[in-house]
Amino acid sequence: MGTAAAFAGLQARQLACRRGDRLLFRGVDFAVAAGEALFLRGPNGSGKTSLLRLIAGLLAPESGEVLWCGRDAHRLGAAFRAELAFLGHLDALKPQLTLRDNLAFWRALLGGTVEIEAVLAEVGLAASVDLPAQYLSAGQRRRFGLARLLLRPSRLWLLDEPTTALDTEGQAMVTALIGRHLAAGGIAVISSHDEIALPGSVLALGRGPKNEARL
């Protein structure tokens, strides 16, 4: 008999996370397949960012494991990191450089081949390509962060509050970008206080008894 095919996606098994002396959550289980989204919900401080960082391997779990296509993600190391793109709260912009030069820097670092101006246009920054990054508004900074996601194909998007500071049109743009990523077989784990009009499972943090998360 052959072995069962590995689950083609992202899984968590009995994940627990500690920050300082506080156990933020424990018993987190989920499975997100290709083409699916998982929404992380919960009040401020419930551990949504921590869970995203834990999936990305930027934080070690107290216990439990993250699996990518059936294998321990953190043992996969660079091979797993090559599959993911992380949109965090830091915008990683060099203030004196123009948006074009900032994004070109990231493209060189990530090894992408896309056209910089086309990507900036896609996130609504076409008029600002020559503007030094220090002059960007909060929403424009968020848009730049989204542009970084598009520099190279990544199967797994980890998105921390992707719609923060965005206007209505920007929020619709985020929904469309994520929708396109999912339609192409990508996976997205999204922390958000806003409603994002896409189908997906919801993981509620910080509400269950004894910090146990509910899917």
Beta carbon nearer to ligand ATP, 28 or 119: 28
Among 6, 19, 77, 138, binds ligand ATP (CB under 6 A): 19
Give the binding-site size for ligand ATP (rule: CB under 6 A).
12
Could you say whether residue 24 binds ligand ATP (CB under 6 A)? yes
Residue 110 makes CB contacts below 8 A (sequence gap 6+) with: 148, 151, 152
Beta carbon nearer to ligand ATP, 11 or 191: 191
Could you say whether residue 50 binds ligand ATP (CB under 6 A)? yes
Among 3, 44, 113, 168, binds ligand ATP (CB under 6 A): 44
Could you say whether residue 61 binds ligand ATP (CB under 6 A)? no
The CA-to-CA distance between both ends of the chain, in Å, stands at: 33
Residue 134 burial class via C-beta count within 10 angstroms: exposed 0-12, middle 13-18, buried 19 and up: exposed
Q: Provide the 3-class DSSP secondary structure of residue 4.
A: coil
Contact predicate 112/151, CB 8 Å = yes
Contact predicate 203/52, CB 8 Å = no
Could you say whether residue 45 binds ligand ATP (CB under 6 A)? yes
| Beta bridge partner(s), residue 132 | 98
Interface characters, 149-188, with ligand ATP (x: CB under 6 A) = ----------------------------------------
- Of 29-37, 40-48, 149-157, 176-184, the segment contacting ligand ATP by CB under 6 A is 40-48
> Given the structure tokens 């009995």, which residue do they identify?
14
- Of 37-45, 66-74, 113-121, 176-184, the segment contacting ligand ATP by CB under 6 A is 37-45
Residue 145 makes CB contacts below 8 A (sequence gap 6+) with: 87, 88, 91, 92
- Residues engaged in binding ligand ATP (CB under 6 A): 19-20, 24, 42, 44-50, 191
